[in-house]
Structure 1
Amino acid sequence: MEVRRVLHMNGGEGEASYASNSSFQRTVLTMVKPILEETVLDLIGDQTFLQSEVLRIADLGCSTGPNSLSVITNIIDTITMACKRLHRQPPEFQVFLNDLTGNDFNTAFKSLPSF
């Protein structure tokens, strides 16, 4: 019987964890932040974009460290600031985090208060 190994991140805490070893990913996220903001602002410019009272954000393949929540926070902040400039009520946000079942989602949820 062939055994297949599934790639997964190390748990969310400790020296070998993804959260402690994701500075490269954080650097890339910082580099693409202006592109993300521009894309979000382009979407908001479309009059049909904010017709819904709820905006859903999905991170498919999220990290267990702070990187995923950082990107989501940036999206929410960009939309909220744009709505204020347009004198519109910001929508309610629903965020969906999804990845392998073996990921340590508890670490992601523990970091929510800092966001």
Structure 2
Amino acid sequence: MKLVEVLRMNGGIGDISYANNSLVQRKAILMTKPIIEQAMTDLYCNLFPKSLCIADLGCSSGANTFLVVSKLTKTIEKERKKHGFQSPEFHYLFNDLPSNDFNTIFQSLGEFEHDLRKQSGEGFGPLSIGYLRFLI
């Protein structure tokens, strides 16, 4: 059996989809939240970059896809407001196996960006989103 077949997830948003059956992964992401937030705070406060590129290697699909990048972005926005700086330019790269359900991700991008801008408030910087695929 090929590795791609073993790692394959169910696409879409149905009852058996990965998007609706990834609670364990979500819990793991949330458990690492304090560590990730501290690392991002340290990075930002030491460099004060004008642009940031955040890559999610193995992004999956569904709500977990945007969970990490939105947490990282909120952390940066909190710090930049605290220091009175202009928002950096954000670049997000999503990456996964070719069998990933990128259609569901792309259909969610508009809502993701809208929510992110709403939560970040005025002054949120430019945003670009791209994706790459692992080729196996």
TM-score (norm 2): 0.74
Structure 2 segments unaligned to the other structure (5+ residues): 116-136
Deviation at 1:108, TM superposition (A): 1.6
Tell me the equivalent position of 1:69: 66
1:90 equivalent in alignment to 2:87: yes
1:54 equivalent in alignment to 2:16: no
- Contact kept in structure 2, 1:60 and 1:99, CA below 8 Å: yes
Tell me the equivalent position of 2:108: 111
Deviation at 1:11, TM superposition (A): 0.7
Q: Which amino acid aligns with 1:43?
A: L
1:23 equivalent in alignment to 2:23: yes
Identical pairs, percent: 45
Describe the superposition over 1:50-80 as per-residue Cα deviations: whole angstroms up to 9, x where unpaired.
Answer: 33x3211100111111112011001011001
| Matched residues, number | 110
Structure 1 segments unaligned to the other structure (5+ residues): none
- Contact kept in structure 2, 1:59 and 1:97, CA below 8 Å: yes
Tell me the equivalent position of 1:38: 38
CA–CA distance in structure 1, aligned partners of residues 74 and 103 of structure 2: 24
Q: Of Structure 1 and Structure 2, which has the larger fraction of its residues in strand?
A: 2
CA–CA distance in structure 2, aligned partners of residues 72 and 87 of structure 1: 22
Name the SS of the counterpart of 1:16 in structure 2.
Answer: coil
User: Which deviates the most, 4-13 or 83-92?
Assistant: 4-13
CA–CA distance in structure 2, aligned partners of residues 17 and 35 of structure 1: 29
CA–CA distance in structure 2, aligned partners of residues 50 and 107 of structure 1: 34
- Contact kept in structure 1, 2:45 and 2:79, CA below 8 Å: no
Q: Of Structure 1 and Structure 2, which has the larger fraction of its residues in helix?
A: 2
CA–CA distance in structure 2, aligned partners of residues 17 and 26 of structure 1: 15
Deviation at 1:8, TM superposition (A): 1.3
CA–CA distance in structure 1, aligned partners of residues 48 and 69 of structure 2: 17
Tell me the equivalent position of 1:4: 2
Q: Which amino acid aligns with 1:65?
A: G
| Higher RCO, Cα 8 Å, sep 6+ | 1
